[in-house]
Structures are given as C-alpha cells and as structure tokens.
C-alpha cells in the first residue's frame, strides 16, 4: 500500500460504558492496537449534532469515556487517544469536502431519516445533523485510515466515505501535466520495471485484470528510490485516475456482541439493563441476584429450563462447557437453586472487572494524568491531520501565500 496501514475509530460520549461495549467494541480495539497503528477518538462534535442542548454532559462524558477505555485495556502508550474537537483540522476538511458533496448523497444515508424519526422529540432538521456522515468522513480521511472498525449500523457511513474520497481524488488528484509527469515517473523506475509496469497497467485498464493490478502495486511497493510524489502518481496512473490524495477506507465489521442485559435482552442503556464497566461490586452482586429467572421455578423444588432464563445467557458468555452442563442438569432436575446458579456468573463478572478497576485507580486519584494523555493524543493526532491538510489545500489551490 502507498500509505501505511492505519486503524481509526470513534465513539460518541453518550454516557458510561457497560459490559456490552466491552464485549463488542472495546475488546476488538484492544486486539487491533497490538497489530496496527491505531487512533481512537471521542466524537464530541458528533454528540453535539443531537445533544446540542446539553453541552456540559458531553464534556463530562468525554472524560468518563476515556477513563472507561483505559479501564478496559485500551492502552494510551500503544494507541493514540484523543478528542475530536481538539483537532480543528477535522472541521476544515469537513468544510472543504462539503463543497463537493451532493445533497442527495447525504439525504440518502439510511441513518438520516431513521434517527430523525427515532429522536422525534428533538429538532434534527439542522444543517449539522444532515452533515453527520460527512463529518465522519473527514474524521476518517484526515488520517488516511484504511481500516475502520465499526458496527453494522455504521457501515453505510464508511461506504459514503469511500465515495467522497473517490470523488475528491477524481476532482483534485489531477495536477497540471499529470500524464507527462506520470510517464516520466514510469521511466524513472528503470527500463525493466517500467516495461512490466506498463504491461500490467494495460492489462488492468483494458481487461480489468485484478491480478495485474495487485502485481503492479506489489512492484511499486518494492521499487526503491522513488520519491513520494512519484509514488503517488504511479499508483494513481495505474488505476486511470490522478494522484490518490485521500485513501478509501474499509469497514472492519465488528461482530455484534452476544452480551445479554440483566433482563435477557441485548445489553443497552435504553433498556436500562446494563452492568457498568466500572460498576461497584456490591451493585453488580445485587443486580445479578435480583435478576429474573425462569418463571416456572416458583419454588426451589420446581425444575426449570435454562433456555427460558436470562441467567443462562450469562453462562453462555462466561462459563466453560463443564459449568454449562452443571447448569443445564441442575436447573432441569431442580438440583441447584437459582442463587447457586447465579454465583459463578457474579464471580466471573467481578474477576473480569477487577483489572479494570485497578487500571483506573491512578486516574481517579490524580485527574491531571488524564489531562496529559489527552494533550499527548491531541498533539500526535494533529501532526498527522496537518500532513493531510497540507496535501488537501495544495490540491485545491489553497496554498497560503
């Protein structure tokens, strides 16, 4: 690839995170941070598009969410953690992209109408809300991120971003004399490589041969002594367009977590059935102990059916085969009581949360620790964002004189 692999994802600061977030999104981030350069940010501007009337809660939730991420094991020394509004370049790119974004594309994004209907008590017929997906595109494109881990609901936003990148490259990737400069760059590859490059390019452009495209890309990856500008031209020329200024991202689909809530439905704030990531052990114990079970088990001696019991859903997440068998047999034969059945679930959750509580202890004792992580993340993110903005301004004829 022309640019290094880079992962980016964001989350709106909507409130304290729960175990559903952990088993769904965060575990995935934690895995990715060891494999790739990762940037994770708090999308506070995105939160304002719907919560513009309660900005102070956004500020509070931003800090809480960063602490939740760190609790879960997102490591600020591995990944860049930052706050969207601290990198004003996102807004500049959003503005510039807005010049080339057809209104119809925005109106067609599925979340637009859906959210307006769902949050009907709010006036969401705003300019900012319509632009939500484009702001997200700017978030992604400004880091030239090629991988964006998101849930299913966000895939259309990543697709939209790809279209915006393609349109941008098409409109602004053609520098004057591009064709000549590209051919000159081909010659500089040396006669043997140049010959292979030309053949592969033709095969791709005339016959759509995808194999030829990837071979040509590999050839460019290997070629030494090619300047960055020429390299971009060669990649662009290969596919028929101009230079590739903005990278088209791919969605890395995060599998929906099977994490149940205390009522057996999916864990979600709107169902009021969550267990917080950093919830106090006493509260966890109480929530599980008072969870409903199979209604057929009125008395201890009544047999039950795990399939009809939300507690069983927790065993599916936390128990090994032997323990699951113990539940199935014990429940159906009334050999175990419900509190007895719940105890290993309580234990497993407390064990899972223990390192989370430990990780955040220093941050709770000393709030300035988080400040320095935020400041450091901001600096690292801005540096990358500014590099892209230089190229974008350049391509659009907006050089500072």
Q: Which residues bind ligand SF4 (CB under 6 A)?
A: 293-294, 297, 304, 306, 309, 311-312, 327, 331, 336, 338, 341-342
Pick 94 or 315: Cβ nearer ligand TRP: 94
Report in angstroms how near the CB of residue 12 gets to ligand TRP at its nearest.
5
Q: Where are the alpha helices (DSSP H) in 173-280?
A: 178-188, 191-207, 210-222, 228-238
Q: Enumerate the β-bridge partners of residue 81.
A: 40
Pick 15 or 337: Cβ nearer ligand SF4: 337
- Residue 320 in 3-state DSSP? coil
Burial class from Cβ neighbours inside 10 Å (0-12, 13-18, 19+) for residue 400 reads exposed
- Binding-site partner at residue 293 among ligand SF4, ligand TRP, none, CB < 5 to 8 Å by type: ligand SF4
Sign of the CA dihedral running 288, 294, 297, 302: negative
Report in angstroms how near the CB of residue 281 gets to ligand SF4 at its nearest.
20
The separation between CA 161 and the C-alpha centre of its own chain, rounded to angstroms, equals: 13
- Binding-site partner at residue 71 among ligand TRP, ligand SF4, none, CB < 5 to 8 Å by type: none
Report in angstroms how near the CB of residue 363 gets to ligand TRP at its nearest.
23
Instruction: Give the side-chain half-sphere CA count within 13 A for 35.
Output: 9
The separation between CA 357 and the C-alpha centre of its own chain, rounded to angstroms, equals: 24
- Binding-site partner at residue 58 among ligand SF4, ligand TRP, none, CB < 5 to 8 Å by type: none
Report in angstroms how near the CB of residue 285 gets to ligand SF4 at its nearest.
15
Report in angstroms how near the CB of residue 306 gets to ligand SF4 at its nearest.
4
Interacting residues with ligand TRP (CB under 6 A): 8-12, 43, 46, 136, 139-140, 148, 150, 154
- Binding-site partner at residue 12 among ligand SF4, ligand TRP, none, CB < 5 to 8 Å by type: ligand TRP
- Binding-site partner at residue 312 among ligand SF4, ligand TRP, none, CB < 5 to 8 Å by type: ligand SF4
Q: Tokens standing for 252?
A: 């890395």
Report in angstroms how near the CB of residue 381 gets to ligand TRP at its nearest.
13
Report the run of H or E that residue 208 belongs to, with start and end: none
- Binding-site partner at residue 62 among ligand SF4, ligand TRP, none, CB < 5 to 8 Å by type: none
Q: Kindly give, in sequence order, each residue whose CB lies less than 8 Å from that of residue 10, ignoring residues fewer than 6 positions away.
A: 40, 41, 42, 43, 46, 84, 136, 139
Instruction: Note whether 313 and 260 are within 8 A (CB).
Output: yes
When CB distances to ligand TRP are compared, the closest residue is 10
Report in angstroms how near the CB of residue 280 gets to ligand SF4 at its nearest.
23
**CA distances (Å), 355 to each of 71, 75, 78, 349, in order?**
8, 13, 18, 11
- Binding-site partner at residue 9 among ligand TRP, ligand SF4, none, CB < 5 to 8 Å by type: ligand TRP
Pick 49 or 262: Cβ nearer ligand SF4: 262
């Amino acid at each position: 690839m022309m640019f290094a692999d880079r992962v980016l994802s964001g989350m709106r600061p909507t409130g304290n995170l729960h175990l559903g977030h952990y088993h769904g999104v965060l575990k995935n981030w934690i895995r990715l941070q060891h494999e790739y350069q990762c940037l994770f940010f708090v999308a506070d501007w995105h939160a304002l598009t719907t919560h513009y009337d309660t900005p102070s809660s956004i500020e509070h939730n931003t800090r809480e969410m960063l602490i939740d991420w760190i609790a879960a094991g997102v490591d600020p020394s591995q990944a860049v953690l930052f706050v969207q509004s601290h990198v004003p370049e996102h807004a500049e790119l959003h503005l510039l992209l807005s010049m080339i974004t057809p209104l119809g594309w925005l109106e067609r994004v599925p979340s637009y109408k859906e959210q307006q209907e769902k949050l009907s008590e709010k006036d969401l017929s705003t300019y900012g809300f319509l632009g939500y997906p484009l702001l997200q595109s700017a978030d992604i494109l400004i880091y030239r991120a090629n991988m964006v881990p998101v849930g299913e609901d966000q895939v259309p936003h990543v697709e939209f971003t790809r279209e915006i990148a393609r349109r941008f490259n098409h409109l602004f990737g053609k520098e004057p004399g591009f064709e000549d400069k590209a051919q000159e760059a081909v010659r500089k590859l040396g006669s043997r490589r140049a010959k292979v490059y030309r053949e592969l390019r033709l095969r791709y452009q005339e016959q759509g041969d995808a194999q030829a495209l990837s071979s040509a890309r590999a050839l460019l990856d290997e070629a030494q002594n090619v300047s960055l500008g020429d390299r971009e031209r060669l990649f662009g020329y290969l596919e028929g367009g101009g230079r590739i200024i903005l990278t088209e991202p791919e969605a890395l689909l995060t599998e929906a977590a099977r994490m149940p809530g205390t009522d057996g439905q999916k864990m979600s704030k709107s169902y009021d059935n969550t267990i917080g990531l950093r919830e106090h052990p006493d509260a966890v114990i109480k929530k599980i102990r008072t969870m409903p079970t199979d209604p057929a088990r009125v008395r201890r001696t009544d047999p039950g059916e795990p399939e009809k019991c939300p507690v069983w859903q927790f065993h599916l997440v936390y128990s090994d085969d032997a323990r699951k068998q113990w539940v199935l047999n014990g429940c159906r034969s009334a050999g175990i009581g419900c509190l007895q059945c719940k105890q290993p679930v309580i234990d497993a959750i407390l064990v899972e949360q223990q390192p989370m509580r430990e990780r955040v202890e220093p941050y709770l004792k000393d709030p300035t620790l988080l400040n320095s992580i935020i400041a450091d993340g901001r600096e690292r993110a801005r540096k990358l964002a500014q590099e892209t903005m230089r190229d974008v301004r350049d391509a659009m004829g907006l050089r500072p004189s």
